[in-house]
């Protein structure tokens, strides 16, 4: 494992759902809006491995190329490898997850392999840090022990709130649930309100079989395939 990087595995659990609005993007906390743009089919070191461009707002609120970053799985400090079809940047979500005043960025990688499972999916989380904005310091790489080939964990993301009110929702729309093929699931991670950012504690995995949902998993429902609100 690379210094300053965490690899985290999830184990499914069930619980109550809450929804909060997404925060504005200001990764360097200078009061000027910033913009992250996913380019999932870019050659970021391998064919269709993907990149993410981040533009930092200039005085007057304008975005220019003068203060700009390009992230890929080959970026130093992320500790990952660009591989064909990873699609880093297919989904993006942001919020001040660790409540330090700097917005943080979650990046879906639905084509990442997990163990021997092709296209199981993963999510990278970059944390804003000082006026430099997003850095590799403290970045996280989330996978799920339950994901299997083709689940596409990270195909959609939604995030919001700050500190202990922060969350990140991660879809895996092609996940099988029991005998229901591609029924789909949504994993919700919560921030601990401190510098740790997103933590495994309190995580939830929602499906249409979850208690209180009032529906049932059927093959090819693709729960989590549609775009999230928030």
Measured between alpha carbons, how far is 86 from 78 in angstroms, rounded to an integer?
A: 15
Choose the stretch contacting Ca ion; rule: CB under 5 A; options: 12-20, 30-38, 145-153, 172-180. 30-38
Q: Measured from the CB atom, is 75 or 146 closer to Ca ion?
A: 75
Q: Which of 42, 96, 151, 192 binds Ca ion (CB under 5 A)?
A: 96
* Residue whose CB is less far from Ca ion, 127 or 188: 127
How many C-beta atoms lie closer than 10 Å to residue 16's C-beta? 10
Residue from 100, 144, 182, 192 in contact with Ca ion (CB under 5 A): 100
The residue among 79 and 156 lying less far from Ca ion, judged by its C-beta, is: 79
CA distance 74 to 85: 14
Q: Is position 42 an interface residue for Ca ion (rule: CB under 5 A)?
A: no
Distance between CA 106 and CA 126 in Å, rounded? 6
- How far apart, in whole angstroms, are the C-alpha atoms of residue 177 and residue 182? 7
Residues 166-225 touching Ca ion, rule: CB under 5 A, are 208, 215, 218, 221
CA 135 remoteness from chain centre: 16
**Is 104 a residue that touches Ca ion (CB under 5 A)?**
yes
Does the footprint of Ca ion cover residue 26 (CB under 5 A)? yes
Kindly state whether residue 132 participates in binding Ca ion, applying the rule CB under 5 A: no
Please report how close the Cβ of residue 201 comes to Ca ion at its closest, in angstroms. Answer: 19
Strand extents, DSSP E, 131-212 = 134-144, 157-160, 167-172, 185-191, 198-206
- Contacts (Cβ under 8 Å, ≥6 apart) of 102: 26, 27, 28, 29, 96, 127, 128, 129, 130, 133
Which residues of the chain form contacts with Ca ion (CB under 5 A)?
26, 28, 30, 32, 34, 57, 73, 81, 83, 86, 96, 98, 100, 102, 104, 112, 128, 208, 215, 218, 221
């Amino acid at each position: 494992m690379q210094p300053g990087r965490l690899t985290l595995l999830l184990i499914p659990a069930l619980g109550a759902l809450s929804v909060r609005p997404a925060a504005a993007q200001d990764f360097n906390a200078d009061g000027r809006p910033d913009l992250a743009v996913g380019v999932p089919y870019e050659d970021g070191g391998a064919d269709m491995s993907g990149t993410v461009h981040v533009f930092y707002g200039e005085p007057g609120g304008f975005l220019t190329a003068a203060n700009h970053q390009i992230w890929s799985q080959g970026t130093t400090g992320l500790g990952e490898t660009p591989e064909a079809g990873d699609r880093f940047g297919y989904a993006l979500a942001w919020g001040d997850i660790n409540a330090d005043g700097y917005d943080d960025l979650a990046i879906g990688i639905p084509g990442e392999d997990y163990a021997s499972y092709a296209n199981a999916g993963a999510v990278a989380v970059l944390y804003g840090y000082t006026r430099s904005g997003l850095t590799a310091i403290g970045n996280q790489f989330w996978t799920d022990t339950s994901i299997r080939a083709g689940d596409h964990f990270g195909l959609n993301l939604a995030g919001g709130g700050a500190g202990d009110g922060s969350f990140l929702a991660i879809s895996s729309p092609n996940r099988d649930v029991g005998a229901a093929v591609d029924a789909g699931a949504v994993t919700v991670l919560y921030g601990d309100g401190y510098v740790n950012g997103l933590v495994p504690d309190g995580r939830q995995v929602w499906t249409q079989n979850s208690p209180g949902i009032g529906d049932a998993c059927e093959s090819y429902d693709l729960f989590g395939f549609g775009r999230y609100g928030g």
